[in-house]
Structure 1
Amino acid sequence: MNNNNNYDLETKLIHGGHKPDPATGALATPIYQTATFAAKTVEHFEELCQTWGYVYTRECNPNLSELEIKLSILEGGENAIVSTSGMGAIASTVLALVKSGDHVICSDGVFSHTKILMGELLTKFGVEVTFVDAVVPDNIRKELKENTKFVYIESPLNPTLDLVDIKSISEIAHANKSLVIVDSTFGTPIIQQPIKLGADLVIHSLTKFMNGHGDTLGGAVIGSKELIELVRWPSLCCFTGASLSPMNAWLITRGLKTLDMRMKRHCESALQIASFLESQDCVEIVKYPALKSHPQHELCKSQMNGLGGGIVSFKLIDGINGFTRDEASRKLMNSLELVTIATSLGEEHTLVQMNGENLIRIAVGLESVQDIINDFIQAIQKIEGSFEKSEA
């Protein structure tokens, strides 16, 4: 199966882009750990160069090809290209699409490194960048210009977990003949498929849920053949050189086979943790799209299949047991025994980190959800000085 779209998503995760090794019949794809490939003749070499055959791994490799085919099938795109990291994918895409004098719109609240790329690198080259609160789609409409090349959004946003209406913004941008790029790392194709909602390009940090094991870096861009070829050459292969290694491509492809089961477990556990936190007197606010209390819960149901994802964010009240909010947040995180203080997300370990506004982000892992909740119970008890309020 290379591109049969008649199968269910669970089958595509395993069979998409995959076929037994033609040389040995090995069912598991070999790792083509090579920098270069041999041609039979000079004419054969010239043909490979003209047809994107296997010449040099920075440009093409069987492990990368299998992953790219699988991703395009999963997201409903025509083509895909993978990269060394999510930022490699973002930088290669942006540099492929803009030139001096262009204007781009970027949603507020995007990944911090994306904001640096937009706000510092692009402006150095004469590209005007406007940051907009994209949670309100009409804000995009107000900032569009004739030379707006693309609108760049994330949904859910990190770490606030506010949602951006992909369908509405795509309609607004396309009326202006502007492209729409969506970072869907928090969603994955299990939860949302931006191309079906009208987006032109979908970006993923494959490091996160798609790989799922926290042991490699990777990124991807999925979209039309025309746009992906613009990103591939000369942007990714020449300008950034951000090509994924064969070993990392193999690891991510292996991780994708269990994405459906893992994402459903992440979502189920996250909802239970969010509900628990919402019941705690010491918690001021919990942000999780699948909670009925989330202001965009209805959008979650229509855009994310009702699944909230694997991330929960919350903020403690100020003045718990005499602590400032910052002091209490730090004490709570430092008191966790099972949950790990670390960046990243989407792996088997539950990770926690805090931003500058004392918003605590939990990247829910695959451990027993009751064990995770119990860990927060004992940490909450340490800041409250009480063993009565915190019950699962």
Structure 2
Amino acid sequence: MTRNHDLAPETLAAQALGFVDPEHKSLVPPVHYATTYERVPGGIGPAGGPGFSYSRNDNPSYTQVESLIQRLEGGEDALVLASGMSAVTAPFMALAPGDHVVVQNVMYWGIRRWLLTFATRWGLDVEFVEAEDLDALRAAMRPGKTRLVWVETPANPLWGIVDLAAAAEIAHAAGARLAVDSTVATPVLTRPLEHGADLVMHSATKFLNGHSDVLAGALVTARKDEWWERIEQVRRDFGTVMGPHEAWLLLRGMRTLHIRVRKACENAMAVAEAMARHPKVSHVLYPGLPEHPGHAIAARQMQGGFSGILSIRVAGGEAAALAAMRRMTVWHSATSLGGTESLAEHRASTEGPGTPVPDDLIRLAVGIEHAQDLIDDLTQALDG
């Protein structure tokens, strides 16, 4: 599929790695709905070449989008899975009961909840740490015992920034691997493997697809090793594969990834700057603002923008935040991020008891609309 290894990422995505159907010369790949494939007796696939056996193992529609994600992240191999949560859980399930894992304290709530419930009951030794604090991260390591360090940057929904190169050095010094949830940064802004990470995870439902119509997850590895083989086995044996049509839609969405992410970043910066001036906003949490505590690190490891998502804290507390949510008309009150439309969410209500999120916080997932429309709607909602 690849015609030129020197092409820019934008070109690779827009052309789906230069795909041209060898039989019909179509520029859009077909959807492979087959679940089973004819084999050479005693083997898999046609004689003398690669092949497929069963779609719980692999499918041509998976491999097309996997190849693109692998190239964009600069990894050795990639897998797509049925959802972001299936992509998150597979690396942990590829560990053994008793293994020690160090996990960022404030991150996507669904991951944190799964680790506190299923993962601990299954036998993983899960330790939460403020991963932005490198001394705290270093102190949490147990050389020879810690197997995995899991971080998210920017981290949902407070948007803390982890120094990936330093975190990788700390993990590797203890004999552990570093895995990075890079859903919000996307490969457009950050390529964690270039900073020393061993694994990258995406909830591909979000920016990679970008149209709020596909559940998908993706993993990219720096190397094909025994752990990666176990992750592949988890996907196969737990059946957490995508449908072929969803894989096709994901590939379709990724053709516009770069222009969508850049427009969302541009809009988010405009919204952040406007909200920083609003008297009824006490804090704007966005790494693109110079006053953000992680700004310098973000500026170093994010190229071309600071993501399309931010949070604001409303000066009047929870009641004022909920009142502003009710008055919004352009922003939709909904969960998710990375789509073309802008979404607002009162995260503490969504996450429920035990959340570390302040109750005055509104998460703003910025879309690709006109920025002034978004700012005007937030302004009138806050002003009441």
TM-score range, shorter chain: over 0.9
Q: Distance in 1 between matches of 2:133 and 2:3?
A: 37
Secondary structure class of the residue paired with 1:267: helix
Q: Distance in 2 between matches of 1:214 and 1:375?
A: 22
Q: Distance in 2 between matches of 1:47 and 1:312?
A: 48
Equivalence for 1:379: 381
Of residues 351-360 and 179-188 in structure 1, the stretch that sits farther from structure 2 once superposed is 351-360
The match for 1:119 among 116, 119, 132 is 116
Find out whether 1:177 has 2:184 as its counterpart: no
Q: Return the index of the structure with the highest Cα Rg.
A: 1
Q: What TM-score does the superposition give when structure 2 sets the normalisation length?
A: 0.93
- Flag the 1:348–1:92 CA change in 2: closer, same or farther, 3 A: same
- Flag the 1:380–1:100 CA change in 2: closer, same or farther, 3 A: closer
- Flag the 1:68–1:306 CA change in 2: closer, same or farther, 3 A: closer
Shift of 1:34: 2.1
Q: How does 1:1-392 map to 2 (within 5 A)?
A: 1-2=1-2, 4-39=4-39, 41-43=40-42, 45-47=43-45, 53-96=51-94, 98-145=95-142, 146-223=144-221, 224-226=223-225, 227-233=227-233, 235-238=234-237, 240-305=238-303, 307-318=305-316, 325-356=317-348, 357=358, 358-382=360-384
Contact 1:290/1:306, CA 8 A, preserved across alignment = no
Deviation sequence 1:266-305 (CA, Å, 0-9, x none): 0000000000000011110001111112111111110112
Shift of 1:265: 0.2
Secondary structure class of the residue paired with 2:219: strand
| Aligned AA (2:8) | D
Shift of 1:16: 5.0
- Flag the 1:353–1:192 CA change in 2: closer, same or farther, 3 A: same
Aligned length: 371
| Aligned AA (1:112) | W
Q: Distance in 2 between matches of 1:315 and 1:373?
A: 16
Contact 1:3/1:69, CA 8 A, preserved across alignment = no
Secondary structure class of the residue paired with 1:345: coil
- Flag the 1:23–1:295 CA change in 2: closer, same or farther, 3 A: same
| Aligned AA (1:135) | E
- Flag the 1:156–1:283 CA change in 2: closer, same or farther, 3 A: same
- Flag the 1:49–1:182 CA change in 2: closer, same or farther, 3 A: farther
Q: Distance in 2 between matches of 1:220 and 1:49?
A: 30
Give structure 1 regions of 4+ aligned residues with deviation exceeding 4 angstroms. 47-52
Q: Structure 1: state its 5+ residue gaps.
A: 319-324, 383-392
Deviation sequence 1:304-347 (CA, Å, 0-9, x none): 126210001010113xxxxxx11111111100111100000000
Q: Distance in 2 between matches of 1:14 and 1:49?
A: 34
Secondary structure class of the residue paired with 1:182: strand
Shift of 1:351: 0.2
Q: Distance in 1 between matches of 2:329 and 2:363?
A: 16
Q: Structure 2: state its 5+ residue gaps.
A: 349-357
Shift of 1:57: 1.3
Shift of 1:50: 12
